[in-house]
Structure 1
């Protein structure tokens, strides 16, 4: 099995690193292309794969071709490679805002296409990816792609309308979480904790809290109640967050991300 990556930025590099770490394919079976010779050499040095500036060469070799380019460049890349794509090839898009109908129009109405939405925690092997195949992708091919995507975190099949929601609730939300961690640390610093230590404690608290949700299966609200002792310190903090509208602010932020995605 050969893998191709058109575009090899941070996300593509995270995907490749996960695949190599799990030994799903060998380095010699992965090919990538970037815009410049300098970046191609950096990728080759960092990952040990073949990387060039030749999109056509990569497209022709790949059994599974990842499209890891920005939305504004997708049309030009499609025009460049669509006539040389091998029969039976599976295209895997991580391009935000470009739905299956658009991708099929640009790359071919008979092409096997899987639209995905990974997120940046893939860089540390803790990503979550929404996966939406078109009607031409076989169950075996879907399983193979899920295996590739699970090499750097979790991955699940969703319907296409839900994929735009995935882009907000998991794709954009790390930025919200980073803001929250920074704010937690700032509060601790204001009360005398050294900043480096404050970031460590706040980050580990968020990591552990997320793990509790995933591993216990207990509703987040119930977990919150477990921390809030009667007349205790935590319920006082929760009261402030509720008064300041934390829930509605986060909900509005998620919906704003979805609205923006639909305009891309």
Structure 2
């Protein structure tokens, strides 16, 4: 089976690297890439041994699975130009364009065409993305398995109903920025107290990584884990109470609502 990518930007590059050099789950010879920026495609060819095509039409002609990895603002023009070629070849179409619904994509290509909408996140660059996908009704279980195999090379992948995508845009798409902000703020506080910045960042980031692993693997609720860290009369409970008094949880809820409402307006 051959996989085509129209677009070779940061996210496409992360996915292709995950498929090949990251996990070895796919061979470069089975991947076909085109980008207006020829150097971006050539860079992927040098690293991942993929095939660089001279046009998007050549990618379509070579592909059983077609990943549309162009920016959302140019997607309509790109797909409109390629519509007839896509319908003729009839690949499984995967779009990673943010905010573009299945209904919108069907409108560009054809009603009842096998289309998958995927929302990965920036952590795909290190193989730890949280990707969600939804599909048109014509996508088979076998095709869904292909999607899962492809995106599992860059992290976790979950099928969601499309109505949940605005929620995922927060906890999957925007939340990495919230986590980075938390890491930065805590490490800066450590610097203020006297620790070198590089060391503070490494320790804080590793603590967040380990804490996430505990939530995922222990099966315990986060508050149970908080209670385990907070000794009676100890230092940690002082910090937890300070965060609550400063509106930490409320601020997160407000940030969630801001992203959620903005996403629904797009």
TM range (shorter): over 0.9
The aligned residue for residue 197 of structure 2 is: 195
The question of 1:48 aligning with 2:49 is answered yes
State the distance in 1 between where 2:118 and 2:99 align: 11
**1:76 and 2:53 aligned:** no
**1:9-39: per-residue Cα shift (whole Å, max 9, x none)?**
1111111111113333311110111122232
**Which residue matches 2:125?**
123
Q: What pairs up with 1:1-264 in 2 under 5 angstroms?
A: 1-20=1-20, 21-52=22-53, 54-85=55-86, 86-264=88-266
Q: Secondary structure at the match of 2:134?
A: strand
Shift of 1:121: 1.1
Q: 1:261 & 1:57 partners in 2: Cα distance?
A: 34
Mark the runs of 5 or more structure 2 residues left unpaired by the alignment: none
**CA displacement at 1:83 relative to structure 2:** 0.6
- Alignment TM-score, normalising by the size of structure 1: 0.96
Residues 207-240 of structure 1: CA deviation (Å, up to 9, x unaligned): 0000000111111111111111111111111111
SS at match of 1:72: coil
Q: Distance in 2 between matches of 1:116 and 1:180?
A: 27
**Contact 1:36 1:53 (8 Å CA) reproduced:** no
Compute the displacement of 1:52 (Å). Answer: 4.2
Classify 1:106/1:238 alpha carbon distance in 2 versus 1 (closer, same or farther; 3 Å): same
- Kindly tell me the number of residue pairs found equivalent between the two proteins: 264
d(CA) in 1 for partners of 2:125 and 2:51? 20
Deviates more, 1:176-185 or 1:50-59: 50-59
